[in-house]
Amino acid sequence: MRRALPFLVLLLATTACGVAEPDSRSGIEPPNRTAAGGAPDAQDAAFTGGEASREAGPDIGTAAAPDVAFSYRYGFRLSADRIAAVQGQHQEICERLTLARCRITGMSYRADNERDVEAMLAFAVDPAAAGAFSREAVQRVTAADGAIAESRITGEDAGTPLRASQRGRAELEADLARIETRLRGLDPMAAEKGGLEAQAARLRAEIRALREAGDAQQAALATTPVLFRYGAGRYAPGPAPTPTLAETARDSGETALAGLLLLLRLIIIAAPWALAGLAGWWIVRRLRRHLPPLTNRPETDAA
C-alpha cells in the first residue's frame, strides 16, 4: 500500500483537475519514487493553466493519504481592478470556516500602476477542508473572468518518520529509566555514578530532540498550507500573453513619453548652470569693453 501511495495521489489529483500529460515546459513534475526504506517520502502533482484548470481545483482527501502533509500553491491571472475584490472573497471563505479550521498567515498587495498589480494570501487550513476550500477559491476567480495560471500540490510523508521517532523515543526512555534505577541503587560515592549520570544526560537530550521533531511533524499533519498568488500585467503568473496591437502602440507611446520626461528633467537640472555660465561670459565681455587696453612698456638698454 505504501508503494502505491504516490501513484494513487497523482491519480486522484488528475481526476479532480483534468490534468494533461506532464510537460517539462509547463513546470509539471512527476511524483517522487519510493524511498529506500520502502515508504514514499513525498508526492508532487502540478498543472498549469488551461481550460481544465479553470473548472475546479485539485481534490486530494485525507482518506487517500492520511499520513501525508500536503501544501497547495495557486497562481491566478486576473484583471488589475479585480484582484483586491477576489482577494477579499478568499478571505471571506476562510472566515466562514472559523479560526479552528482556517487562519490567514500572510497577505500582501502591490500596485505599480493601474495595470501591473501583484498580491498574495497565505492560509493554514484544516486538511479535511483544504480541497473544498481551494475549489471554491478557484470558482471565485473564474467568476471574476480570471484563470489559473499555475497550480501545484506537494506532499511529504510525515507519518512514517513520526512513527519511527516515537519508537526511537520509547527505546531511549526505557534506557533512561534503567539508568535512573541503577543510579538510585548506587552509593553516592560510587565510581561508576559519574559515567551513568553522563549517559542519562545524553539520553535526555536525544529524547528532547526527538520530541521536538515529533511535534513539528504532528503540526505539519494538523494543517495544510495554502498559498494564493494573484497577478495582472507584468506580474501575471504563467507565460506572458501576446500583446495586442493597441497594447503595443500604448506601450510605445508610454516609452516615448518617458523619454521626453527624462530629457525635460535633464534640461531643468542643467538650466541653472547654463545660465550661470552665460552670465559670467557676458560680464567678462562687458569688462573688456570698458577697461583700457594693456600696453607693454618700452624696453631700455642698460647703460
Per-residue pLDDT tens over the stretch 243-257: 667 767 777 887 888
Q: Quick one: CA torsion of 274, 278, 283, 284, rounded to 10 degrees? A: 100
Give the residue among 158, 172, 244 at the shortest CA–CA distance from 206. 172
pTM: 0.53
CB 33 within 8 A of CB 6: yes
42-48: strand order across its sheet:
42-48, 147-157, 68-77, 224-232, 117-125, 102-111
Per-residue pLDDT of the chain (303 residues; tens, 9 = 90+): 444 444 434 434 443 443 334 343 333 333 333 333 344 444 444 434 443 444 455 555 555 566 777 889 999 999 999 999 999 999 999 999 999 999 999 999 999 988 899 999 999 999 889 989 999 999 999 999 999 998 898 877 776 777 777 788 888 888 888 888 888 878 777 778 788 888 888 988 888 888 887 777 777 778 899 999 999 988 888 766 666 677 677 778 878 888 888 888 888 998 889 888 888 888 888 777 777 665 555 555 554
Grid coordinates of 256: 516615448
Question: Residue ranges of the domains in the chain?
Answer: 5-160+219-235, 167-218, 248-287
CB 69 within 8 A of CB 79: no
Which three-class secondary structure string do you get for 166-218? HHHHHHHHHHHHHHHHHHHHCCCCCCCHHHHHHHHHHHHHHHHHHHHHHHHHH
**Residue corresponding to grid cell 543510579:** 183
Grid coordinates of 18: 483534468
CB 237 within 8 A of CB 75: yes
The secondary structure of the chain in percent helix, strand, coil, rounded to multiples of 5, reads 50, 20, 30
